[in-house]
A = this chain, B = another copy of it.
């Protein structure tokens, strides 16, 4: 259920179950690690991966097939406590709710509701795909042509990329210089710098690890706080980098949605995400 080997991501999302579980409630201690932040606030996908680990341990299911997280407060690098309430435990799926709080102040950071399963051993059913991986179509930036997120992007603000090998479409990666593609689309590839395999927990990180698609349109490239993010894990990824495409269609009255589709190296759909966020203000 957990990946093997000594990888930075696994150390950063480790959870320790407290003894003496109270009925359907399981409590974990964890540490929001430094360096997984953007401008000092822990990345939302990183927080979700910690919560996902706790949900998985509490329910005994490897995959958060569908998870929804409401982001309640910015998170510093501090010890946290995660309480998981198992709502229902069925044969195929289990549903649970997790709350992450700062251990010191008790401030709640995120609340997540998820239905978990075991996709590698799921009974499955029909497949009918009406769209293929964009990474196999024309116009998608090739892995080797993408910009690796690095340099001042890491040192100045998006610190979490120091652990990732995030690669960005060169047409969409120059927003910091004021060069914008004009399209609310961010494409690229996700992997870890230390070659940790991308599993369903890593996909939850990947769903929120790219610069917002709206940085390439006529809006300030400023903080885009997530109100809510839902991630559907659709398959366990094959080895290799994951092609990620994020798009926004509607920025309306200060709220926007960003939709992600993530595909593995075999061309299989592995995740879809949608978040509702506050539009950046200049």
Query: CB within 8 Å of B: which residues of A?
Result: 65-66, 68, 70, 72, 87-88, 93, 95, 97, 108, 111, 113, 115, 119, 122-131, 184, 214, 217-219, 227-228, 230, 232, 234-235, 248-255, 257, 268-269, 272, 274, 276, 278-279, 281
Contact = CB atoms under 8 A, between A and B. Distances in A.
A251 B228 CA distance: 24
Given A97-B111, A113-B70, A232 B126 contact: no
A194 to B, nearest CB: 30
Contact of A250 (B130, B184, B251, B253): B130
Given A111-B113, A230-B274, A130 B255 contact: no
Contacts of A274: 230, 272, 274
Given A125-B254, A125-B278, A126-B251, 12 more contacts: A65-B255, A68-B228, A68-B230, A93-B227, A97-B111, A122-B254, A128-B184, A128-B218, A130-B184, A130-B249, A232-B255, A274-B274
12 contacts: A65-B276, A70-B113, A72-B87, A88-B108, A93-B227, A123-B254, A126-B251, A127-B253, A130-B248, A130-B250, A250-B269, A257-B272
A97 B127 CA distance: 34
A119 B253 CA distance: 9
Contacts of A87: 70, 72, 108, 111
A188 B230 CA distance: 26
A67 to B, nearest CB: 9
Contact of A66 (B113, B129, B232, B276): B276
B125 A281 contact: yes
